[in-house]
Amino acid sequence: MEEPEKSSLDRRSFLKVAATSGAALVASTQALTAQQPAPAGAVAAPAGMAAQGVAETTVEVLSEERHGSDFMMDVLKPLGFDYVTINPHSDSGGLQESIINYTGNKNPELITCLHEEAAVAIAHGFFKIEGKPLAALIYSSVGLQHASMAVYSAFCDRVPVYLLLGNSIENPNSRSAQDPVGMARDFTKWDDSPVSLSHFAASAVRAYSVAMTPPQMPVAITVDKSLQEDRIPAGTKLHIPKYTPNTAPQGDSAAVAEVARLLVSAEFPVLAVERAARTAAGLKYIIELAELLQAAVVDTIQRMNFPSRHPLSQESSVLRTADVVLALEHPLLSRSSLKPGAKLISISSFDLFTRSNYWHFGKYQEADVPIAADAEATLPALIEQVKRLITSDRRIAFAARRVKLAEAHQKSRERDRVLASHGWDSSPISTARIAAELWEQIKTKDWSLVSRSDGMSDWAWKLWDFERYYHHIGQSGSVGIGYSNPAAVGAALANRKYGRLSINLQNDGDLMFQPGTLWTAAHHKIPMLTVMHNNRSYNQEVMVVARMAAERNRDISRCHFGNVFDKPHIDYAQLARSLGWYSEGPIDNPRELGPAIRRALAVVERGEPALLDTITQPN
């Protein structure tokens, strides 16, 4: 057997790399944003759409060669959908044919999916990079049942997936349903079932407007088969409504002024951010507010809310030392996580919407200053109020606070690097080493982590330099298994036109929920690097059962039953290869890791997807 190539990163070299100084400020907020920020309070319109919206038009049908689905595309095309994800089905044949031949399969282009859940999750991931919805064209009843988990994740994550559901009521079949969205109405924001083409035009534009207005969430339009297929009589005039983006709801000026007063006078304020950076502009605003106050920031990584190496970025334990906490789109933060007497301020758009979800439970947040508004839209006014209140004395106090926070940040980074070096040469491979080896080879590239940044025990978040809005897409919202693989493909699809390197740290169990998504990526030539966290088990569940057994004084050696993938082990490299990917593995020798990453990156950079099946330690 040939001697493996020398790894690009040995343990000693890794430990010699000094952690970035916690005393340096992030150089420029402009360098942290990939797009121009939207005007304060405005909900960004899709790319290519005029700021004032899409003008209303009237379509006059001059012949009887036009069908209902052609007019539907006249309505949908100005809304700016780049793609329509589809699991093909007979009740949307009219719309599918119109996309192919009437609009030329371009803007939107069909993305073929092998499962409805993948179709919705791909749209979910795409939005979190591009800030534009995709439409998902699926069966109404049986299709929505398959897709419902992905719809729920998008609802929890406040992502506006645009669902088009094919149905057949006029001539019902075994898949028809009188109210197909009923099964998902608890986790969609709005839905309708148009009964005419004029009704469809109004509902389609309204659905887009509702989806894109914070809090952003999925919407659904049920489209009857006959409405798609019937010919439009010659001479018919059909109206397409004008779409104008809504202004996002902003906080009351008096309440914002009170928040500014509390923050400026606080001895130790903390910003707790969850989904506050709705766009790239939101990231800039959070950085600006934190630096004005020299306040600690706790980012739950539900979005890319704050740079990971910024000296004000702190661990969640600082919440217990804060005297004032500003929760930005963080409705679950409760007083139990704060010290007694601390002031809690909440700015959240979720209070504008009454339906609860898994994360929020409809629970009342006991805040001292609650503001029901979009946090990102409210931040510019808050920043101006803070600027007016800062005196020279407060500025001196802020500077001293910054020094302490920078020291704490630096210590945390140094501790992480030492911990990451443990088990460096062990087999199976440590997840920390995978993150470090990847970072060594991508840090000079324009990269994007298109999977959950807490994957592989948070090591990417701890070791990489997250700065730009697209550097990671955050969590699924619901933490449902099966989200990560298709969402990563959707995010990589969005990154493709920018030439960004998309990296997916992929859990093994999650991939097996939707392995067919690998084919979609290969078929549509979506370049991305997937590195498997293949610990051959649902290890978290192993630990849960082991803890239960220990509490009951029972045998913990048998707790792998029902939780491991063995007899046979799954060969993810072979699976990926069979679906059109370049792949290597299984890789369990850490010395082989660096060279394998280099080869896989070369494949991705020429426009193809690649997968490395790495055999990993449990955590």
DSSP string, 261-322: HHHHH-SSEEEEESS--SSHHHHHHHHHHHHHHT-EEEE-SSS--S-TT-TTB--GGGGGG-
Residue 540 counted as domain residue: no
Say if residue 256 is in the same domain as residue 394. Answer: yes
Say if residue 150 is in the same domain as residue 221. Answer: yes
For the chain, residues with pLDDT lower than 50 are 1-3, 18-51, 357-359
Cα angle for residues 185, 451, 39 (degrees, 5° grid): 70
DSSP state of 100: I
Q: Is 545 left (phi over 0), alpha (psi -120 to 50) or beta?
A: alpha
DSSP state of 67: B
Contact in structure between 493 and 83 (CB atoms under 8 Å): yes
Residue 4 counted as domain residue: no
Collapsing DSSP to helix, strand or coil, 59 comes out as: strand
Half-sphere exposure of 501 (CA within 13 A, CB side): 20
Rounded CA separation 463/299 (Å)? 16
Instruction: Residue 217: give the domain boundaries.
Output: 57-240
Say if residue 266 is in the same domain as residue 321. Answer: yes
One-letter amino acid at 193 equals: S
Radius of gyration of the chain (CA): 25
Say if residue 388 is in the same domain as residue 485. Answer: no
Residue 578 counted as domain residue: yes
Say if residue 235 is in the same domain as residue 294. Answer: no
Residue 185 counted as domain residue: yes
Say if residue 350 is in the same domain as residue 466. Answer: no
DSSP for 369-436?
EEEES-HHHHHHHHHHHHHHH--HHHHHHHHHHHHHHHHHHHHHHHHHHHHHTTTTT-SSBPHHHHHH
Does the model's pTM come out above 0.75? yes
Rounded CA separation 489/127 (Å)? 12
Rounded CA separation 322/539 (Å)? 35
In the listed set 240, 264, 287, which residue is the last one of a domain according to the structure?
A: 240
Q: Locate 53 and state its tokens.
A: 């919206």
Collapsing DSSP to helix, strand or coil, 332 comes out as: coil
Say if residue 179 is in the same domain as residue 78. Answer: yes
Strands 162-167 and 447-449 turn out to be unpaired
Say if residue 387 is in the same domain as residue 455. Answer: no
Length of the chain: 619
Residue 373 counted as domain residue: yes
Residue 10 counted as domain residue: no
In the listed set 187, 210, 240, which residue is the last one of a domain according to the structure?
A: 240
Rounded CA separation 102/186 (Å)? 35
Residue 164 counted as domain residue: yes
E strand map for 103-251: 109-112, 135-139, 162-167, 190-192, 219-224, 237-240
Say if residue 197 is in the same domain as residue 262. Answer: no
How far is residue 248 from each of residues 9, 159, 269, 369, measured CA to CA in Å? 47, 15, 26, 20
Where is 604: in which H helix or E strand?
Answer: helix 593-605
pLDDT at 598: 98
pLDDT at 288: 98
Task: Name which of 87, 57, 55 is nearest 163 in CA terms.
Answer: 87
In the listed set 240, 263, 296, which residue is the last one of a domain according to the structure?
A: 240
Only one residue has tokens 């009521």, namely 169
Residue 29 counted as domain residue: yes
Say if residue 26 is in the same domain as residue 63. Answer: no
Rounded CA separation 320/337 (Å)? 6
Say if residue 325 is in the same domain as residue 353. Answer: yes
Structural domain count of the chain: 3
Rounded CA separation 319/356 (Å)? 25
Say if residue 234 is in the same domain as residue 291. Answer: no
Which CATH number belongs to the domain containing residue 286 in this structure? 3.40.50.1220
Only one residue has tokens 């293949």, namely 534
pLDDT at 12: 75
Rounded CA separation 81/152 (Å)? 21
